[in-house]
Amino acid sequence: MQTIEYIETLNISSSDLNPRKTFDDDSIKELSKSIIEVGILQPIIVRLSHYKKSTETYELICGERRWRAAKLAELATVPAIVRKMTDQEALDLMITENLQRKDVSPLDEAEAFMNLIVHREYDIQSLVTRFAKTESYIRHRLKLNDLIPDFKHLLQLEIIGIGHALEICKIQSNDQQELFNSEYTENKRNTLWWTLPTVKRLKLDIEKSFTLKLKDAAFNINDTTLDEKAGSCLTCTKNTSSNMILFPDATSTGVCLDRSCFNRKKNTHFERELERVQEEDPDVVVAYPGHIYGDDEKNVAAMKKNGVPAVEMSWNSGWREFKAPEMPEMPEESNYDDQEEYQEALAEYKDEMVEFEKDKNEYDEKLTLGEYKKVFMVAGNDKGSIVYMQPTNFKTAAGSDVPDSTDFSAQQIKELEAKDKRNQELTFEKLYNAAKDILNNSGYTSIPEPISEKEEIASLVIMISYASTDLNIDLFGEKNRYNLDNKRKLNQATHLTEDQKARVIRSWLKRNLDTSTPNDLISEAKALIEIAREKYPEELTKADLDLQDKYLKRKGKIDNLIEEIKSKKSEKQA
């Protein structure tokens, strides 16, 4: 039998272990009035904490509302049952008591369930059995722990309801923060036009802005190589179809709740497919839709600059997408209230299937005959996907006929030729990088041999860029006196006469030894002086003598001033 003791109220303290963090001040006040009138009917549960100045102090395990109300009512003592228990036993009792309260908050309940799983090694089924809740209820409460602090606060204040919170907690924390910042901040809520959306409206908004239907993904959702850490979308925990209890309305393929992961996979797939299409599938046209903006516009421009032969294929340019017929969905008997309705739906489905088979055969035949163009889209909603286009057979706004398949063949040949040109450029770039790596890693600069003919020509290629205007005219013609065609430099360097080589080297020396700060670049300055002394001795000797004469006169004046200062100093010291 448990003994009830009366313990001084001030010798009891709240426990840090208690998972319950929120208390309603109004309800505490009401309970305090009741305690003043009739007393505490049910004792609290405590455990001995420690001795403090010969006084026993206690840690509160169960009954914190009664204890808080007793302090408010200024009761000197409260009835209590003292139990000896470990931290784990105390935590288990606290959680159990909190979960059995009628007024337990959803967040407290969520944290309590998580505590039992983490600290007491419960699992979902054992929680279902112990607390007589459904598996769906337990899982939804546990999911509330994923709410960001901002939304937890709104739920505690009852600004949003449990239905809203259960929808919000399903998306990633960064997406929750974006949603909060855009719609739920205090400033937003204080505007005249702000209203709390219905749960249904919120769910639709979240699906539109923060989730992605996997059935529409351009990539293979079972491809584990797109993101080795994330793995297959089919088994991912962020796919709604992997948890039908939390997402009972999810489709068989599901919806992705992690936009950043989805976009990483989409981008990896796009880069692979673009490379594959260009290298392995010359019949596929690389294209983009009309009216592209922002990042799409910049990306397409960059691709074109890098040699990707992308063309616009839209209604305005004479093309429209031809989609494959969609197979009708077979009705499920369980979705109908009576057999008659189900049979009517089944008959309608059979008629739709006949029409589908007809359209599918026609579509396949046109594909076989080449009436459609196979297109890889590099922008827009279909980015990274293969679509099929057909001519619209109408006149453009300018009045000209749109290209038919023959016209398009010529355009396609032009694009393929451009693609081949880019392939040549890429091959050359790779060869250059291979040669550069070899020179960097093979000790080229330490070769103990005289400069070879190829090295001399390479030096001249660099020096030609510094050729004077008259030399450019001599080497490349009047048209290139100012703008030198880089592609011609190597060929010209290979065929220079000895006189032209000398002129190239001297133009390079003159340009590179020219400086406005000769005292800083003193070696370069002295080298230029010595060249002038060798090639133009009389002129430089005359300039040198004139400058030396002026310098000596100035030096004489300075020396005299120094002697005067020294003389005056000696006189003062004497």
Same domain (yes/no): 279, 411: yes
> Are the C-beta atoms of residues 207 and 255 closer than 8 Å to each other?
yes
- What gap in Å lies between CA 364 and CA 359, rounded to an integer? 9
pLDDT-derived band at 227, boundaries 50, 70, 90: confident
Look at residue 89 and tell me if it is in a domain: yes
pLDDT of residue 177: 92
Task: Tell me what the mean pLDDT of segment 18-28 comes to.
Answer: 75
Look at residue 216 and tell me if it is in a domain: no
390 beta partners: 320
Q: Which of 259-263, 408-412, 522-526, 554-558 has the lowest mean pLDDT?
A: 408-412
- Which domain range does residue 496 map to? 453-535
pLDDT of residue 482: 57
Same domain (yes/no): 304, 401: yes
Alpha-carbon distances of 285 from 192, 329, 408, 419, rounded to whole Å: 52, 33, 10, 11
Look at residue 76 and tell me if it is in a domain: yes
pLDDT-derived band at 147, boundaries 50, 70, 90: very high
User: How would you label 37-48 residue by residue, b for 16+ Cβ within 10 Å and e otherwise?
Assistant: eeebeebbbbbe
pLDDT-derived band at 526, boundaries 50, 70, 90: very high
Percent of the chain with pLDDT over 90: 9
Element (H, E) at 78: strand 77-82
Look at residue 239 and tell me if it is in a domain: no
Q: What is the DSSP string of 255-270?
A: EES-HHHHHHHHHHHH
Task: Tell me what the mean pLDDT of segment 50-75 comes to.
Answer: 81
52 beta partners: 55
User: How would you label 204-236 residue by residue, b for 16+ Cβ within 10 Å and e otherwise?
Assistant: eebeeebbbebeebbbebeeeebbeeeeebeeb
Alpha-carbon distances of 370 from 367, 406, 408, 409, rounded to whole Å: 5, 12, 12, 12
The answer for 258, left when phi > 0, alpha when psi is -120 to 50, beta otherwise, is beta
β-pairing verdict for 373-377 and 386-391: antiparallel
pLDDT-derived band at 148, boundaries 50, 70, 90: very high
Same domain (yes/no): 296, 413: yes
pLDDT of residue 542: 92
CATH number at residue 67: 3.90.1530.30
pLDDT-derived band at 529, boundaries 50, 70, 90: very high
Percent of the chain with pLDDT over 70: 88
Same domain (yes/no): 393, 495: no
pLDDT of residue 473: 76
> Are the C-beta atoms of residues 66 and 45 closer than 8 Å to each other?
no
Q: Residue 400 above 50 pLDDT?
A: no
Last residue of a domain, one of 82, 104, 126: 104
- Mean predicted lDDT score pLDDT of the chain: 82
Backbone angles phi, psi at 375, to 5 degrees: -130, 135
Same domain (yes/no): 365, 460: no
Q: Residue 336 above 70 pLDDT?
A: no
Look at residue 300 and tell me if it is in a domain: yes
> Are the C-beta atoms of residues 392 and 402 closer than 8 Å to each other?
yes
Same domain (yes/no): 484, 527: yes
pLDDT of residue 233: 86
Domain count, the chain: 3
Last residue of a domain, one of 87, 104, 121: 104
Same domain (yes/no): 283, 409: yes
Residue-wise pLDDT tens digits, 151-188: 999 998 889 988 899 889 988 888 899 899 989 999 98
Residue-wise pLDDT tens digits, 197-222: 888 888 888 877 777 778 778 788 88
- What gap in Å lies between CA 10 and CA 75, rounded to an integer? 9
Query: What spatial distance separates the first Cα and last Cα of the chain, rounded to whole Å?
Result: 117
Burial of 111 (0-12, 13-18, 19+ CB in 10 A): buried
Which one has a higher pLDDT value, 248 or 402?
A: 248
- Cα dihedral 416→422→426→431 (10° resolution): 100
391 beta partners: 319
Q: Residue 399 above 60 pLDDT?
A: no
Backbone angles phi, psi at 412, to 5 degrees: -65, -40
Q: Residue 406 above 70 pLDDT?
A: no
Look at residue 325 and tell me if it is in a domain: yes
Burial of 177 (0-12, 13-18, 19+ CB in 10 A): middle
* Per-residue DSSP letter, 340: H
Residue-wise pLDDT tens digits, 71-97: 888 888 999 988 888 877 787 787 777
Structure tokens at 168: 């919000």
- What gap in Å lies between CA 277 and CA 379, rounded to an integer? 15
> Are the C-beta atoms of residues 120 and 88 closer than 8 Å to each other?
yes
Burial of 334 (0-12, 13-18, 19+ CB in 10 A): exposed
* Per-residue DSSP letter, 309: -
Residue-wise pLDDT tens digits, 229-288: 888 888 888 887 766 555 555 455 677 878 788 888 888 888 888 888 888 887 788 889
pLDDT of residue 538: 92
Residue-wise pLDDT tens digits, 541-558: 999 999 999 999 998 999
Look at residue 33 and tell me if it is in a domain: yes
Same domain (yes/no): 398, 483: no
Task: Tell me what the mean pLDDT of segment 30-49 comes to.
Answer: 87
> Are the C-beta atoms of residues 300 and 288 closer than 8 Å to each other?
yes
pLDDT-derived band at 410, boundaries 50, 70, 90: low
Residue-wise pLDDT tens digits, 5-16: 888 888 888 887
Same domain (yes/no): 376, 314: yes
Look at residue 520 and tell me if it is in a domain: yes
For 422, residues 6+ apart whose C-beta sits below 8 A from its C-beta are: 306, 307, 308, 309
pLDDT of residue 365: 82
Same domain (yes/no): 344, 410: yes
Task: Tell me what the mean pLDDT of segment 454-472 comes to.
Answer: 82
Last residue of a domain, one of 104, 129, 153: 104
Task: Tell me what the mean pLDDT of segment 42-48 comes to.
Answer: 88
Same domain (yes/no): 392, 465: no
Backbone angles phi, psi at 468, to 5 degrees: -70, 165
Same domain (yes/no): 414, 499: no
For 388, residues 6+ apart whose C-beta sits below 8 A from its C-beta are: 321, 322, 323, 324, 367, 372, 373, 374, 375
Distance of CA 314 to the CA centre of its chain: 30
pLDDT-derived band at 129, boundaries 50, 70, 90: confident
